[in-house]
Amino acid sequence: MFWKLRYVALILILGIPQPASSFNVDVENPMIFSGSQEDMFGYTVKQFENEERKWLLIGSPWEGQSKNRTGDVYKCPVLKTRNPECVKLNLAEFLTVPNITEVKENMTLGMSLASNPKAGFLTCGPLYSYKCGGLYYVAGACLNVSATFKVVNTIAPTVQGNAGQTSKIENTPSVINLLSSN
């Protein structure tokens, strides 16, 4: 009796078509995206599409060797050529929170990449820090980037002002306002 149940279970498992997900990897004509190993080029990779074309966003969190290693993100076109040229977005210069003494060295921008449901993407530098008095605080910060690769705003919810008041960033496109919360 027990063997009959096993036989029926085996027929049900193998005999009923299962839904499956699959993907293709072109091993004959691969696209190769190259960057510096010291900069950790390729630490994060995100597929991205805008009205212009399809892209790969590639994070390079130690970009800026041997100076200040702020990190950055590259946009690489998905083309039929073997070695498409990637373009550095220079996002580190746009990550800024006013009215504090920023420390961008080693902030590792590009360590995380996420799609923004409203179009665009978000990239973060978890080691972004600032100086208050004689102390350094690691707060982390993110950049909201539009689908056309323009910086929309900086997001730094844990940054506090020098007086110890919690600060928040006003989420207004193209404007970054530091507002004190009591």
| DSSP-assigned states of every residue in 79-130 | -SSSSPPPEE---GGG---TTSEEE-TT--BTSEEEE-TTSSEEEEETT-EE
DSSP annotation of 12:
H
pLDDT in tens, the chain (182 residues): 666 667 666 565 666 555 655 556 777 777 888 888 888 999 999 999 888 889 999 999 998 877 788 999 999 998 877 778 899 999 999 998 888 888 888 899 999 999 887 789 999 999 999 998 888 899 999 999 999 999 999 998 888 765 444 444 444 333 333 333 33
Beta bridge partners of 55: 48, 77
What was the pLDDT predicted at 33? 84
Which residues are CB-neighbours of 89 under 8 A, at least 6 positions away? 72, 73, 74, 75, 145, 149
Residue 8: phi and psi, rounded to 5, are -65, -45
> 14-28 as b/e, with b when 16 or more CB fall inside 10 Å?
eeeeeeeeeeeeeee
Q: Do 92 and 107 form a contact (C-beta atoms < 8 A)?
A: yes
Residue 20: phi and psi, rounded to 5, are -140, 150
38-80 residue pLDDT tens:
889 999 999 998 888 899 999 999 988 777 889 999 999 988 7
What was the pLDDT predicted at 178? 36
What was the pLDDT predicted at 167? 44
